[in-house]
Structure 1
Amino acid sequence: MAPLLRDSHCSTCGAPFTTADWPRTCPACGTVTYRNPLPVAVALLPVEDARGTGLVVITRTIEPARGGVALPGGFIDFGEDWRTAVVRELREETGIEAPAADVTLADALSSPAGHLLLFGLLPPRPAPT
């Protein structure tokens, strides 16, 4: 049996694609489909105390890497500004509030999984005691 083809059918007319290469052109309606990266917002929040500076991290509660340590982050919603996504993910995953206007772009990287990672840096704040 042939392996399953990811995104194997045209999203416009439903016809099956005949190739696994990207971009794909539908043989029935001619629609061209691209495999675009999914944008992910990642929060970089430095915290400072007498011992120095660290970053806010979370313990993952879902796969992949359940139980591992990660930076707060997640997918950017359709129509959402990336800075707003950074502070939304920070709030959802840690309960920490921050204004989107304080976020600056620290870096943008492509991941092997096909995601575009946007790292948003926030101003340092005192570590909780």
Structure 2
Amino acid sequence: MPPPVKDRFCSFCGTAYAEPLAYPRTCPNATCKVTVWANPIPVSVVLVPVRSEQGTGLLVVRRGIEPRKGMLALVGGFLEEHETWQVGGAREVAEEVGVTVDATKLTPLWFTSTEPRPNRVLLFSVAPTLERASLAAFTPSTESQERGVIHGPQGLEDVFAFPLHIQAARKWFESQGLTGPHRFTPV
């Protein structure tokens, strides 16, 4: 059985789109004629600085799901249609690592599109710095196996799931004048 194809049928009237399927797709039904597009999906990713006796680093999650299960990532995810990038980012931080950040205090760091296929727009932001002692206990979930802090930009390509997360983390470390190995510490 072939894999399912997104938008094979008009979601308004149910008429099948003509082959070959390409975007934008306009319904061939003369009374409908609705057009659908394959717009990129926004992803809010939040860099959460955490200060501890080891210095200040970034909060990360060990992925419990594919892609790149078991590797580290910054905290983030897809926005819901009713959310701003700030609200969605704060929600993702709470869902994935059990930490509350104030959505109104998130500041933009860097916005970029995925490569080579720009089907995602990543909205990287920075939360205010948290104290390690203020973090509640972490409860692993299907999505998040472990929570930790990385303390430097070197070697991230060996442990991080996504190249754009590496770039964002390095941008932040550089802005803070922090160097050295990533030194992952569970928190």
Partner of 1:26 in structure 2?
A: 27
Provide the rounded CA distance (Å) in 1 between the counterparts of 2:41 and 2:2.
27
> Per the alignment, in what secondary structure is the counterpart of residue 73 of structure 1?
strand
| One-letter amino acid of the counterpart of residue 22, structure 1 | Y
Deviation at 1:100, TM superposition (A): 0.9
Provide the rounded CA distance (Å) in 1 between the counterparts of 2:109 and 2:22.
33
User: 86, 95, 99: which one pairs with 2:98?
Assistant: 95
Deviation at 1:5, TM superposition (A): 4.1
> Per the alignment, in what secondary structure is the counterpart of residue 89 of structure 2?
helix
**Structure 1, unpaired ranges of 5+:** none
Moved more, 29-38 or 112-121: 112-121
Is residue 124 of structure 2 the alignment partner of residue 119 of structure 1? Answer: yes
Distance change >3 Å, CA 103–CA 3, structure 1 → 2: closer
User: TM-score, normalised on structure 1?
Assistant: 0.85
Matched ranges for 1:1-129 at <5 A? 5-18=5-18, 19-28=20-29, 29-49=32-52, 51-111=54-114, 112=117, 114-128=119-133
The structure where helix makes up a greater share of residues is: 2
User: TM-score, normalised on structure 2?
Assistant: 0.61
Query: What per-residue deviation string (whole Å, max 9, x for no partner) do you get for residues 35-72 of structure 1?
Result: 01121111111223454432110000111111111111
**Structure 2, unpaired ranges of 5+:** 134-186
Distance change >3 Å, CA 80–CA 2, structure 1 → 2: closer
Deviation at 1:88, TM superposition (A): 1.0
Q: Give the paired residue count.
A: 129
Provide the rounded CA distance (Å) in 1 between the counterparts of 2:81 and 2:23.
23
Assess if the C-alpha contact under 8 Å between 1:5 and 1:20 holds in 2.
Answer: no
Provide the rounded CA distance (Å) in 2 between the counterparts of 1:94 and 1:3.
33
> Per the alignment, in what secondary structure is the counterpart of residue 39 of structure 2?
coil
